Amino acid sequence: MIKSALMALLLAGASIVGQAAERGADPLDSPRWSDMRKEMFPAAAKVVFDERVKVTAPLTAENAMNVPVSVDAGALQGVREVLVFADFNPIVRIVRFEPKGAQPSLGFRIKLQQSTPVRAAVRTSDGSWHVGGTWVNTAGGGCTLPSTGSASPEWQKRLGEVSSRVWARKEGGERIRLRIIHPIDTGLAAGIPAFFLQDLDLTDDKGKALMHIEGFEPIAENPVFTVDVPVARASAGYRVSGRDNNGNAISAVIDK
């Protein structure tokens, strides 16, 4: 009798959990999700978890100063903007980008302070947000360490220097990879103010927009970005321009 009552209780419990999952419980089961929901999106916004938003990062990251992440929202139509954030990072926002002609995907590297979900929220033309993500386990500490650059005068001479290359892709279209010399300090290491890339605009050789990237403090030092351009927007050359939070300009021609 007692056993069956217990069983009934257990079953009831299981069905409540099941219902929560159907209503859209966080697939990454993060205790910070409800805060993220409130902080990142307007209350009235439609926010759904969507497996079509692919976030690729190593499950275990030994070097918390340089964790590789790729976001791909190519399975969704009408992508307007993508916001990448990490629930447990002291600075949650990592990067925001608007694919204005480039593929809705971006490769980059980040600093993490501890193990955390890394998520991408994709706003599509109907105004709804599609959220995908993955857990990254790390010993952390990446956000409160000074950059290597901050200890060396070398970067000052090369600040904002861009190296880049363009590849033809087997899938069609082109790939642009670029690296920018910048120490990127989070402001969380004692005595070193925040110093990071704020805006980057990637255009074709006529100046027509391909992608706008808004950076935040947790992007890794000397950031490397991977951007794919569809066949229709492939160009004889590309340009990148932007600035950091101290107003230093970045400007370079990306030759083929």
Partner 1 sequence: MNALPRSARALIALFALGWTLLLAAADRDYGLSPVRIADDTWALVGRSEDFSVANGGNIVNTAFIVTRDGVVVIDSGPSRVYGEQLKRAIARVTDKPVSLVVNTHHHPDHFLGNQAFAPETLAALPATIKGIHSEGGSFNENMYRLAGDWMAGTEPVAPTRQLAAGPLVMGDHRLELIALDGHTEADLVILDRSTGVLFAGDLVFNGRTPTTPHADLSHWQAALDRLEKTPFTILVPGHGPVAADAGPIRQTRAWLTWLDRHLRQAAEDGLDMTEVLALPLPAEFRGLAVVNAEYRRSVGQLYPAYEQRALSGERRKP
Binding site for partner 1 (CB under 8 A): 56-58, 60-63, 66, 68-70, 107, 109, 139, 163-165, 167, 175, 177-179, 224, 226
User: Cβ closer to partner 1: 21 or 59?
Assistant: 59
> Considering the complex, what minimum distance in angstroms separates the CB of residue 60 from partner 1?
7
Structure tokens at 21: 């999952």
User: Cβ closer to partner 1: 85 or 108?
Assistant: 108
> Considering the complex, what minimum distance in angstroms separates the CB of residue 164 from partner 1?
6
> Considering the complex, what minimum distance in angstroms separates the CB of residue 56 from partner 1?
4
Structure tokens at 111: 């600093």
| Cα dihedral 94/64/243/181 (nearest 10) | -160
User: Cβ closer to partner 1: 77 or 167?
Assistant: 167
User: Cβ closer to partner 1: 11 or 59?
Assistant: 59
Q: Are strands 47-49 and 129-136 parallel, antiparallel or unpaired?
A: parallel
Task: Specify the DSSP element, H or E, that contains 238.
Answer: strand 238-244
> Considering the complex, what minimum distance in angstroms separates the CB of residue 133 from partner 1?
14
Task: Specify the DSSP element, H or E, that contains 228.
Answer: strand 224-229
> How far from each other are the two terminal CA atoms of the chain, in whole angstroms?
77
Residue 232 is which amino acid? A
Question: What length does the chain have?
Answer: 256
C-alpha distances in Å from residue 237, one per residue of 52, 82, 173 = 31, 25, 13
> Considering the complex, what minimum distance in angstroms separates the CB of residue 36 from partner 1?
22
- Rounded Cα gap, residues 164 and 161, in angstroms: 10
> Considering the complex, what minimum distance in angstroms separates the CB of residue 209 from partner 1?
22
User: Cβ closer to partner 1: 121 or 227?
Assistant: 227
> Considering the complex, what minimum distance in angstroms separates the CB of residue 246 from partner 1?
24
User: Cβ closer to partner 1: 165 or 208?
Assistant: 165
Show the beta-strand stretches assigned E in 8-136: 47-49, 54-56, 67-72, 79-86, 93-99, 105-110, 116-124, 129-136
Phi, psi for residue 226 in degrees, rounded to 5: -120, 120
Angle, vertex CA 184, rays to CA 41 and CA 164, nearest 5: 95
User: Cβ closer to partner 1: 161 or 205?
Assistant: 161
Around Cβ 100, how many Cβ atoms within 10 Å? 16
